[in-house]
Amino acid sequence: MAQVKIVTDSSAFLPDPGQIARYGIEVLPLTVRVGEQKYGERIHVSDEPFLRKMAQDAKQVSVEAPSIGQVRRMFERLDLTADKIVCIHTSAAFNDVAVVVEQAAKSYAGRQRIVVLDTATTSIGLGLIVEAAAKAAAEDMALADVVRIVRGMIPHMYALFLSDSLEFLEAWGRLGSAQTFLGTMLGVKPLATMEDGDLLPVEKVRNYQRGVDKLHDFIIEFSRIEQMYLIQHELETEAAQLLERLELAFPGREFPVIGYGPSLAVHIGPKALGVIVYEGGR
Amino acid sequence: MEEPSLATPDSPVARAVSAITSQPLDGAPLPGAASGGLDGVAYCDLLHAGLSWLDAHHDIVNALNVFPVPDGDTGTNMLLTMKSALQEISATHAATVGQAAKAAAHGALMGARGNSGVILSQILRGIARSLDDQLTLTGPRFAAALAEGSRIAYKGVNRPVEGTILTVVREAAAAAEEAAQQDPDLSFVVGQTVRAADVAVINTPKLLPVLAQAGKVDSGGKGLFFILEGMYRALRGETAAPVAAVSPPAAAAGAPARPAKGQREIPILVYGFDVQFLLEGRGLDVEAVRADITAMGDCPLVEGDANLIKVHIHVSNPGVPLGYAIGLGFVTDVIVENMDDMHIPAMRPGYDPVPPRFEPPIEPGKSAPVAEGEPTLAAIEGPGIIVVAPGKGLADVFRSLGAHIIVSGGQTMNPSTHDLYTAVQKLPADQVIILPNNSNVVMAAQQAQGLAEGKTVAVVPSKSVPQGISALLALNPHVDLARNIQTMTAALGHVQTGEVTIAVQDAFFDGIAVRAGDVIGLLNDRLTTKGADSNAVVEDLLGQMGAADLEIITLYYGQPVAADEAKALQARLRELFPNQEIEIVNGGQPFYHYIISAE
């Protein structure tokens, strides 16, 4: 009996990129659009040209879900080797990929057992879940057990992002343009947290120093942190300051700093600092 | 024809007093005489006399502002608070002094503006508690009531400061109690009270160094003194109109002049006319006249006999009672005073000329009636936010940051407790946070907080616009109220506030000599610099703030500054501080060239 096959999408960030080959993880590329040009997002690539373009004119860029045809072709291909598939995807509030995969999976209901899971997180949060699922599959665990592991991790994943500008909140339709205009003039930097898969603006700050304070306060409230990653682009100094302060609270612990690609950039902007915490199962 | 009660008195109170204490017109005792003292109507007139006397002197009180900045003036705030008290009594037709005092206390509570107005309203509340079910006011009752007023006022302040209106009311009350032991006569007791208040006011600079430094006495204490003195003068039958300024204004140069009649904006008729006259006739029916006059207006007083009736009434059209009386007999000694002309203080441009109006009382549990044309507020996620902001631009900034109701005012015209209370009731939210954005509005906000029924209201004591913005940014609609209050209050300290304005009077403060008309700079509410023009003062303030080590500097420019000027200043500051973000925003506030936020 073949192993459970793990599918994810390009917004995932795996702790070790080598795991993709080692565990045979299938990565569905999201579709990146820059002006008229479209290409598939590459996992673990921050895509500097995209981020630069975005900083110039955010309206020129977007990230879309793969087409249903694309997903069907993937299932056709996997049909030759796998009959049990767990598709683990980024939050539906960020990208429709889980919805498209779910639709495509319906056509294969008789031939393959496909379970589609929305992790309500993204980036390294999604990557940590995919890693755990892939390891379980490699140990020949049953599909139901792999699904149970994924579902068990989702409620313990937390995230907070400090973004340079309100502009990207506006892009999700959470703020009116007049508000964004004034807020941008005032140099307002929003903090947003992930809750039930949605990115919700919480507080706002007017300088990065205060933003670092807020991230720090958020982190030290956890009584237990199994894994934690900082996510950063163009805020190296602030990330270093945050790590320095965390050294006092968590002496000797290493927290990796990673970048992010287009699929997260369209939500937090090209200049941001965030944290994703996995507090561990109970 | 003999005019028994007209020899000396020319104020309504004096008439009431003389009617009660001296010769009744027909030899029979009049209401109130049996127990002795003033009834509700007379108490109303007594407070009215206090108000008129304060009105005549409120410029003096305003000129006592310690800081030479255009802010909510103590005299104006106390005057508006007293007016609100009087308006409420007029509307209630109180017969007993207890009822009148209660009405006055409620009116003052709702109309309270500024910290001195709030403390005044607390004094009136204590007085009302003490007089509760009393029919009339006597010397000992006055003393006990003022003592309770003092107690309540002290209780209402978190950290009572001596050398303020609190000291004055406490010492005045102590003198009143002592006087009442010697002689229960009301006039004597009030006289001793006024004397003690005067001494206490003179001593305020000894207790409060900031006053000594400014060479002034406490303005709130002085305002209270004028109210008491006005009452005393009325009891003695002296006219309420100012004969001459009793004490020379401390800094008359800075006090704004009243606009001359014919050259001012016509005040709106709110209080109407105070009408007094004597009606002579044969076989007059006092009961019928009283019933007819009472139906015409507020604060009615109709006393007399079949030959002579004395009438006092507040009406919107003096022709109505006069026309009525002329039809009955011979009308003499007509006094008609326009109460709106009397009361409306001379306000600088930028003030809201409309005095507080009373809306129908709001029933608990029901939300306030929404004015027509006003959009109904949409459902609110998280707590409802009320902010006080001077100027349209600042209102826009607060709205863009999520404020639901903007109460205009702050810097110059302080909003009343009632303004804030109405806003609280109007918000479709169970939890409400008020940002007063001015140290002189914090107490009124706390009073509104205490009044709110069926809602949880919190005040984050922001003392400036930048503090208010800092607090509002810290709001997180997804956590509970207590948590938000904690983080928002902590955020107040994250920002420095600079203000640039014109000195309204001469002053010497912290080693800086300021002349009226100078451009001055305040750092976190303290006068720290003056300069040739607003640009120079802004640069000074930024230097004092240590701007070179800060991240963001925002200048909210006000009405005295044109947009081009502000842009030019921004360009200059960008050269001086290349590592800082320098933003300019049209704040639209009156009087203040710039409000600076730095963090």
From the list B242, B312, B304, B235, the residue with the least C-alpha distance to B14 is B235
Per-residue pLDDT, averaged over B179-197, amounts to 95
CA distance A239 to chain B (A): 17
C-alpha to C-alpha distance for B461 and B464, rounded to whole angstroms: 9
Indicate whether A175 pLDDT > 70.
Answer: no
Sign of CA dihedral A158, A164, A168, A169: positive
- Looking at per-residue pLDDT, the higher value among B202 and B335 belongs to B202
pLDDT at B34: 35
Q: Report pLDDT digits (tens) over B368-383.
A: 333 333 445 666 777 9
pLDDT, average across residues B308-329: 85
Query: Looking at residue B583, which CATH number applies to its domain?
Result: 3.30.1330
What's the domain range around A18? 5-154
% of chain A with per-residue pLDDT over 70: 93
DSSP string, A218-280: HHHT-S--SEEEEEEES-HHHHHHHHHHHHHHSTT----EE---HHHHHHH-SSEEEEEEE--
Q: Which of A167-176, B195-204, B568-577 has the lowest mean pLDDT?
A: A167-176
Q: What is the pLDDT of residue B341?
A: 61
By percentage, how much of chain B surpasses pLDDT 70? 80
> Hey, which residues does B527 pair with through a beta bridge?
B522
Starting at the earlier edge strand, list the strands of the sheet with B496-502.
B526-531, B519-523, B496-502, B592-598, B552-557, B581-586
Contacts of A193 in chain B (CB under 8 A): 478
Which residues of chain B lie closer than 8 angstroms to A207, CB-CB?
551-552, 599
For residue A188, list chain B residues with Cβ-Cβ distance below 8 A.
401, 473
Edge to edge, the sheet with strand A5-9 lists A26-28, A5-9, A84-89, A113-118
Q: B166 exposed, middle or buried (CB, 10 Å; 0-12, 13-18, 19+)?
A: buried
CB contact under 8 A, A210 and B581: no
What is the SS3 assignment for A39? strand
Long-range contacts of B341-344 (CB under 8 A, 24+ apart): B341/B267, B342/B52, B342/B55, B343/B51, B343/B55, B343/B79, B343/B83, B343/B271, B344/B267
Out of B397, B474, B494, whose CB is closest to A182? B397
pLDDT at residue B446 tops 60: yes
Identify the band that residue B515 occupies on the pLDDT scale cut at 50, 70 and 90.
Answer: confident
Alpha-carbon distance of B391 to B558, in angstroms, equals 8
Give B465's pLDDT tier (boundaries 50, 70, 90): very high
Q: What is residue B372's predicted lDDT score, i.e. its pLDDT?
A: 35
Q: Residue B432 — very low, low, confident or very high, per pLDDT cuts 50/70/90?
A: very high
Mean pLDDT check: name the lowest of B246-250, B467-471, B588-592: B246-250
Under 8 Å CB-to-CB from B482, ≥6 apart: which residues?
Answer: none
Mean pLDDT of chain B: 81
Domain shared by B509 and B538, yes or no: yes
Q: Kindly report, residue by residue over A240-262, the tens digit of the pLDDT.
A: 999 999 999 999 999 999 999 99
The pLDDT of residue B227 is 96
Alpha helices in A3-122 (DSSP H): 19-23, 48-56, 68-79, 97-106
Q: Are residues B484 and B506 in the same domain?
A: no
Does some domain include residue B6? no
What is the pLDDT averaged over residues A208-228? 93
CATH number at residue A273: 3.30.1180.10
**Of A113, A129, A154, which residue constitutes the final position of a domain?**
A154
Are B161 and B278 contained in the same domain? no
Q: What is the pLDDT of residue B197?
A: 96
Domain span holding position B230: 35-244
Is residue A69 located within the same domain as residue A144?
yes
Residue with the larger pLDDT of the pair A136 and B583: A136
Quick check: B506 pLDDT over 50?
Answer: yes
Q: Which of A131, A154, A177 is the last residue of a domain?
A: A154
B473 vs A205: CB contact, 8 Å cut-off?
yes
Q: Are residues A196 and A91 in the same domain?
A: no
Using an 8 Å CB-CB cutoff, list chain B residues near A181: 400
The predicted-structure confidence for B200-235, as pLDDT tens digits, reads as follows 999 999 998 888 887 889 999 999 999 999 999 999
C-alpha B19 chain-centroid distance: 33
Q: Which of B244, B263, B298 is the last residue of a domain?
A: B244
At residue B274, the 3 state secondary structure works out as: strand
Q: Are residues B116 and B172 in the same domain?
A: yes
Q: Out of B225, B244, B263, pick the residue that ends a domain.
A: B244
| Over residues B244-251, mean pLDDT | 36
Do A73 and A128 fall into the same domain? yes
Length of chain A: 282
pLDDT, position B508: 76
Question: H or E stretch including B181?
Answer: helix B165-182
A202 phi, psi to nearest 5 deg? -110, -95
Question: What is the number of domains present in chain A?
Answer: 2
Residues B466 and B552 in one domain: no
Same domain, A18 and A108: yes
Those residues of chain B whose CB sits closer than 8 Å to some CB in chain A are 396-397, 400-401, 469-470, 473-479, 487, 494, 551-552, 554, 581, 583, 585, 599
Could you please report the per-residue DSSP string of A138-193? HTT--HHHHHHHHHHHGGGEEEEEEES-THHHHHTTSS-HHHHHHHHHTT-EEEEE
Q: What pLDDT score does B68 carry? A: 76
pLDDT class of A215 with cuts at 50, 70, 90: very high
Q: Given this model, what pLDDT does residue B199 score?
A: 94
A155–chain B Cβ distance below 8 A for any pair: no
pLDDT at B350: 34
Q: Which range scores top for mean pLDDT: A129-133, B10-14, B441-445, B507-511? A: A129-133
Q: Determine contact: A196 vs chain B, CB below 8 A.
A: no
* Interface test mutation site (partner A, options B385, B399, B400, B404, max chain A beta carbons within 10 A): B400
Q: What is the pLDDT of residue A173?
A: 53
Same-domain check for residues B94 and B181: yes
**Does position A179 have pLDDT exceeding 80, yes or no?**
no
Cα separation, B546 vs B333, in Å, equals 69
pLDDT classification of B261: cutoffs 50, 70, 90:
low
What CA–CA distance (Å, rounded) separates A125 from B472?
Answer: 31
Q: What are phi and psi of B46, to 5 degrees?
A: -65, -45
Residues of A in contact with B585 (CB under 8 A): 182, 185-186
- Based on its alpha-carbon atoms, the radius of gyration of chain B, rounded to whole angstroms, reads 26
Mean pLDDT for B559-574 is: 93
Query: pLDDT, tens digit, for every residue of A102-126?
Result: 999 988 877 789 999 999 999 999 9
pLDDT band at residue B410 using 50, 70 and 90 as cut-offs: low
- Domain identity same for A114 and A103: yes
Question: CB neighbours (10 Å) of residue A144?
Answer: 12
Q: Are residues B484 and B500 in the same domain?
A: no
Least confident residue range of A128-132, A276-280, B233-237:
B233-237
Please check the confidence at residue B23 and state whether its pLDDT lies above 60: no
Whether residue B51 lies inside any domain: the answer is yes
Query: Residue B577 above 80 pLDDT?
Result: yes
Same-domain check for residues A20 and A148: yes
Q: How many CB pairs under 8 A join A and B?
A: 54
Helix (H) or strand (E) holding B397: helix B392-400
Look at chain B and report how many structural domains it folds into. Answer: 4
CATH of residue B319: 3.30.70
Residue range B184-197: mean pLDDT, rounded = 95
User: Do residues A28 and A75 share a domain?
Assistant: yes
Per-residue pLDDT, B253? 34
Yes or no, beta carbons of B400 and A179 under 8 Å apart: yes
What interhelical angle do B392-400 and B465-473 show, nearest 10?
10
Q: How confident is the model at residue B9 (pLDDT cuts 50, 70, 90)?
A: very low
Residue B263 confidence (pLDDT): 66
Q: Name which of A181, A193, A204 is nearest B473 (Cβ-Cβ).
A: A204
By C-alpha distance, which of A233, A257, A260, A235 is closest to A246? A257
Residue B540 lies in a domain: yes
Shared domain for A217 and A242, answered yes or no, is yes
| Average pLDDT in chain A | 90
**How sure is the predictor about A81, in pLDDT bands with cuts at 50, 70 and 90?**
confident
Rg of chain A taking only CA atoms, in angstroms: 19
Choose one of B454, B488, B522: the last residue of a domain.
Answer: B488
**CA pair distance B378, B368, nearest whole angstrom:** 15
**Averaged pLDDT for residues B165-182:** 96
- In this structure, the dihedral spanned by the alpha carbons of residues B50, B53, B59 and B63, taken in order and rounded to 10 degrees, is -60
Q: Which of A154, A184, A199 is the last residue of a domain?
A: A154
- Domain contains B265: no
Shared domain for B447 and B527, answered yes or no, is no
Residue B575 has pLDDT above 60, yes or no: yes
pLDDT of A184 strictly over 70: no
Nearest residue of B to residue A180, measured between CA atoms: B400
Residue B198, in any domain of the structure: yes
Distance from CA of A173 to the nearest CA of B (A): 15
